[in-house]
Structure 1
Amino acid sequence: MSAHQLGEIVSLVFMAFALGMDAFSVSLGMGMQSLRLKRIAFIGMVIGLFHIIMPFMGIMVGKAISVKIGELTTLVAGTLLFAIGAQMLFSAFNHEIKKVVKPAGIGLLFFAISVSVDSFSVGLSLGMSGVKIAIALLLFGAVSTVLTWIGMLLGKKVHGFLGVYSEILGGSILCGFGLYMLFG
């Protein structure tokens, strides 16, 4: 392996961690819901899959879409995260409201899209750079899966300590992260 190839892989590992930190941060909040380990494992795999699909889609349309799409994806992701967090907050204060957004079904789909949509923009640039696409996609998926698991397991531990207030904290984390994506 040449120094250039090693440098490229190291760069991709750092990029994978940067992209996976969204999933980690948001998973801390989601992990505060009472979830079984099996569900946490499944959610991590779905997040990892979306961290492969989204940059792949970005790579495929890289030359056809302008740079402006990066701003739009951040806006959509931030809005989705804020909405999920707000719903968690409202359900924590009003016990009559059923949880609409759970990390299952359509809720899991929204969750996965919201934390992986920024990797679409990264895919746009990767498609034009000539990087080893298969290695990049596998690294993005593996790192985001592991970071999601870590975040959800840490969130689960915090839930045990905070009890009833954990949903408020989890919703606040999601709202804050959504606002950060929108305005930060």
Structure 2
Amino acid sequence: MSLLTIIITAFALSMDAFAVSITNGILIYDVKAKDALKTGAYFGFFQGGMPLIGWLLGIKFQDYIIKIDHWIALILLGFIGIKMIYESFQNKPIACENSENPRECLNSKTMIMLSIATSIDALAVGVSFAFLKVPIVSSVIIIGIISFIVCFMGVFIGKNCGVLLKKNAEILGGVILILMGVKIFLEHTNLLGTMTIFN
């Protein structure tokens, strides 16, 4: 998996957290830099940490599943992508959306809950990283940094741009993950020659 592919995957994985960050920016009418920093730090840490956990789980079984790793990547990434697109149309409120105090969105308990909820997909991707022999340390760092930046910006974007971008972010992330799963499957089954877009 090339560096550019990992970067694109990181952006796709961060879209759930980005959508929640946008919501926080919408709810907190007097957004400050520290609000965005806190949001980015929580989401960046969990988005980066979950693939590592998934990788540690997957590495134990890679010798048994190496022959079907491309199917696993296709199914996991495809399922996650479809799930993200489906959920973008559900309009479910986040944990603190109906609170009288919008800054409850940023208390530690709520942020941990939201960070875990939005990073479960990254855990599954980490499993596929183990089968694909992706360099995990650099990948985790890249995913964490990109998620931090995306979510930091998401808070301010939410303050200024409203709800529409939230749904579009989840759809975009879902489409990217599906395409990445298809790309890996085609490459590993030799159904695709040289791809120049992501390599």
What TM-score do the two structures reach when normalised by structure 2?
A: 0.61
Q: Secondary structure at 2:92's aligned position in 1?
A: helix
Query: 1:15: Cα distance to partner?
Result: 0.8
What TM-score do the two structures reach when normalised by structure 1?
A: 0.66
What pairs with 1:143-158 in structure 2 (closer than 5 Å)?
Answer: 143-158=146-161
Distance 1:118 1:111 in 2: 13
AA matched with 1:105: S
Which residue in the other structure is 1:44 paired with? Answer: 40
Q: Secondary structure at 2:134's aligned position in 1?
A: coil
The two structures, once aligned, show a CA RMSD in angstroms of 3.7
* Structure 1 pair 132–142 and aligned structure 2 pair: CA distance change class (3 A): same
Contact 2:21 2:39 in 1 (8 A): no
Runs (5+) with no aligned partner, structure 1: 1-6, 92-96, 159-165
Out of 20, 26, 31, the residue aligned to residue 32 of structure 1 is: 26
Runs (5+) with no aligned partner, structure 2: 66-71, 175-199
Distance 2:149 2:101 in 1: 30
Of all paired residues, the percent bearing the same amino acid is 24
Which residue in the other structure is 2:130 paired with? Answer: 127
Query: 1:155: Cα distance to partner?
Result: 1.1
String of CA shifts for 1:82-141, please: whole Å, max 9, x gaps. Answer: 3526x52x44xxxxx566952212111111112211100100100121111111101110
Is structure 2 residue 8 aligned with structure 1 residue 14?
A: yes
Is structure 2 residue 55 aligned with structure 1 residue 55?
A: no
Distance 2:102 2:11 in 1: 31
Q: Secondary structure at 2:106's aligned position in 1?
A: coil
**Deviating runs (4+, > 4 A) in structure 1?**
66-72, 97-101
AA matched with 1:113: I
AA matched with 1:9: L
Which residue in the other structure is 1:162 paired with? Answer: none
Distance 2:156 2:101 in 1: 24
Distance 2:105 2:4 in 1: 35
Mean alpha-carbon deviation: is it higher for 28-37 or for 118-127?
28-37
Distance 1:69 1:101 in 2: 33
Query: 1:157: Cα distance to partner?
Result: 2.4
What pairs with 1:1-184 in structure 2 (closer than 5 Å)?
Answer: 8-34=2-28, 35-62=31-58, 63=60, 82-84=92-94, 88=97, 90-91=98-99, 102-158=105-161, 169=163
Q: Number of matched residues?
A: 152
Contact 2:55 2:130 in 1 (8 A): yes
